[in-house]
Amino acid sequence: MSTNKTSAKIVLLPGDGIGPEVAAEAELLIADMAGKHGFNLDMRTKLIGGAAIDATGNPLPDEALAACREADAVVLGAVGGPKWSDPDAEVRPEQGLLKIRKELGLYANLRPVRLHPKLAGASPLKPEYLEGVDMMVVRELTGGSYFGDKQEGDDFASDTCTYSRQEIERVVVMAGNIARARSGKLAMIDKANVMATSRLWRKVTGEVMTKQFPDVSCEYILVDAAAMYLISNPARFDVIVTENMFGDILTDEASMLAGSMGMLPSASLGDGGFGLYEPIHGSAPDIAGQGLANPFGMLASVAMMFDYSLGMQAAAHSIENAISACISADECTPDLGGSLTTSEAGAAVRARINDD
């Protein structure tokens, strides 16, 4: 979509814990942007996760999935919580998230990690280690051990990790295009000294980069070394591409570089313009309902939606700039050193966009 597009269809999935609180701020922001940029908005709220289990017995009801298939983009709050945390339960909130990724072909998860200078002190790392941190992690999202065949018994369990050439190629191509548009530098993270799937990742990545991206430099780093470098020298990374489980772990580690997990957005993309957008912070049930949740990760996810699915880069940049300005002015929640509630922080972002 370009800025002269007349309509957008968005599905909102608030989910569980703090999900509904940050989703409410996303809804207000999207509605504001529709008015500011002059497009008709069709925004519908559907169930996912524990809330969906309680209401329907299904973590992703058919009605919700059907609505998502018809949408331009989906905005998700968070799923899960203690009420549904029994790992032996046949139905769990996380199944809704895995299903929506698989059913909608969302094979790549993009997680940008940038540090606002004012938040350097909020990170557990010393500020001198954080200078210049600005990376994009591209995580494969629908393969690997999370989706492989599983066996589970009292004395034996297995999670099969499988990858095909096609699954690897498509996410590496996406990462290569992102790296080309940034600094021309890509790091592929694997465990090729031990795992057969990692050796296929390394082989296919090398072929893709040589044939399609000869102008992009590519280095290969073992996952244990990468975990160390994220702490000791995070600025060495610009674009990272990796398999599902490694990406899940490394992106949570990288979130600490930004000072708060509540700061970071994500986009789950497939072929075409459709995407699912969510903050990475999870449902945080310990602070749910208290107005303490940081909405900036969710609002930055909305910015990614305007960029990747709606093609409205100016709108995306205005949201990102407003969030940055709020942080600079201490208009933020307690996790960032401010004193605003979730709704007050969301209102502060909208006010700065409207004053722009």
Catalytic residue among 16, 46, 163, 191: 191
Closest CA relative to residue 100, chosen from 122, 132, 77:
77
Tell me the two tokens of residue 21: 């609180």
Q: What is the DSSP string of 77-98?
A: EE---GGG--TT-SS-HHHHHH
Question: SS3 breakdown of the chain: % helix, strand, coil, rounded to 5?
Answer: 50, 20, 35
155 part of the active site: no
For the chain, how far is it from start to end, CA to CA, in angstroms? 22
Catalytic residue among 224, 271, 286, 356: 224
How far is Cα 205 from Cα 218, in angstroms, rounded to an integer? 9
- Backbone region of residue 15 per phi and psi (left: phi > 0; alpha: psi in -120 to 50; beta: other values): left
Tell me the two tokens of residue 337: 């050193």
163 part of the active site: no
Q: In the block, which residue shows the tokens 């096609």?
A: 166
277 part of the active site: no
191 part of the active site: yes
In DSSP terms, which residues pair with 170 in a beta bridge?
none
308 part of the active site: no
Whether residue 16 contacts residue 93, with contact meaning beta carbons closer than 8 Å, is answered with yes
Give the residue numbers marked as catalytic.
146, 191, 224, 248, 252
